Structure 1
């Protein structure tokens, strides 16, 4: 057999990992999470787990082949082990000059190795500014002193041209770093061309597929296109599943105690920093229009770009204004079909409407004396008039007209059919008022089940600008989302 440290893949070093490789190791996890980083380099073409090194990489640049050789250590690297690895690198380079980069990855570094890593980074970072200068020569001499102190079998010039050192937090904390590895993979893949609109659960599935492919092809060269196809197929499978099951949104606005409930969803509306459940505090209108509603618009674009699926399932607890805004973002006129979890039941936006409806016993009230917009009091589950008066008195608000809507009869228990019917009934009242008087704005004060608020936003259109208000424990109402529903 050939020398154990030569260029052959059949030497003991080249075959050691394949003979010993069982399960999923830190090295495999490192390869999987680094793939999207390597994909970002258009010159990257192939990776090999257990090649001449622990991991071999191939690049093609301007018609030239360049290969990188990685050693991955799942423990802190001592001075002596670092010296041994560099000696392996030197011999490999002598046997195969086409190997251009040698990378040692450790789960921690000895302080002297860290100092050498920093010195390499410092000299490379200043190279353009100080190339050919006395400063460069002096720094290179200091680097050579570190090489001598570490008793490395290479020159400072060789290390500067060929050697990289990486202290990997993921490797250091494996397997406890599994969640952060996944987040890293998802975040980096989202930055790649063609995956900008991918949804997190699809990328989770892609990460699992990449892991399985790496394990099942141990010691086999993985091409860039093959690995990208693994990701694309996983994403396609995900789209097929969501086509049937619907994309999922989870409200995390009040601070849901069950953190696990978030995980199975395609998007989490995490607005906890903006709301307070105990006081019913909601953010100012500017936060809605400049931060929260643009986030919903971007989420809707991402969902739309993910495929032809227009079925969205919504779960969690939130203020009514959030439900209204989410329903409007995923509106019926945009072709969405919604399913809302309401107290354990599933309410579908395409449920056949019941006979429920709202009426306006006093008709459209026009008090005179000026004022702006149409005040709509929607008393679905309780009367809102008293708190509207509190708000008007405290804020000095004066409206051009008032439309008090209440349920015709009482509902002992709301259903999806009732919510659909009420949403459509409210819409008809608003369109009639808008068509007759052309109000610039509708000021909506409402008390409904959350699912009904979602379906109201989902069905409202052609009614102009709607300024919604959220009920407060003290002080009536506070302005919340502002929706352009022209």
Structure 2
């Protein structure tokens, strides 16, 4: 029973996450949909979330059934859609029954959304563009598996071909949809675009609201833009406003994202990065193409008002955050405001925040007396020790000394609690590196970051007068490889 209860809870969470995901666009003034329902009272099996157009909008009513599966032991098939649970109706029968009731009220789309994908026999008839069944599905003289399945569908539903064809034309199968973790990320992106807080706590507030609307029932389940705006305001979901003006710098690396407002400068580097394989551009691509683009971005932003912060947004590797900071140094008066996920919520960090009194613990050890390079491990949110030892074993005579920097109490995911902590660690790290260079008389510094992106950005701003700094990125195999060289003077 415990596992069944857990499955039901996961299913409810997935359904409510998807509901919030499709409700958020109602906040847009140009949304073609005017209202929505959660668990519509007249929609039968297609009731989980429904969308209803504005008068004159060129869209159709959508009635959506959301189904979650805890694992991927099976696929949706032409035959499987007719399988019932116990003596209950099949999924196909439930969707068909909902459609027969809803179509009398006008044009309608009945959607099935699920994390289970379609098998090849069903998938070959689904359009990736809009989740409709392809025209081939409606062939007058089907052959093979389709012929048998269509005959079984007609018998299973007890209808003639013209009725089945009309139903299938209104059916939408959005199969192989996101996992819970992926859906949470998509929800966060939509919340960010609309000026809302992101992370586990704001999402939990939104899902509690959906559960409450369902429990109260009646008109509470009917939602529109005004009602959502009131809910968002009353539950504290709006991102706090800031009086400090800013200009946007967006850099797309691992992925493209849309943030609130419009950037003054936008750089799309996604063709050079692959998150799955951890592939990054070569040093020559960085030096000959990306770094000049970053310098041009700084030139374009140089005319901003003196009091304006640079609102940096980007899904980029840690080394790119270091490079951005180095290109916009603190000594030149450049100040950043950046999104940072911390303690389960996305907040804004400022590079001019007052440093806290947090301390940075440094451990040094000599490696090769006649070497000329210094290895620095900047680990705040995790222990890079095992990977670093493997890295050192692969470069046995490379480094004069190794400096490991970490917060007092050791590295962990909550070690950097605020922008004040991040600034304090960046300032202390720069000074520790400078002292180590002098003490060990090294020429080049090799830096392995294991810290929040915002902290790396702030550190990059302070990497001045340290000579060449080679920044490393973690590889898909768990090691480290040099990514770019920063000339800090």
TM class, shorter-chain normalised? 0.3 to 0.5
Between Structure 1 and Structure 2, the one with more helix by share is: 1
Larger radius of gyration: 1
Q: Give the TM-score, by structure 1 length.
A: 0.46
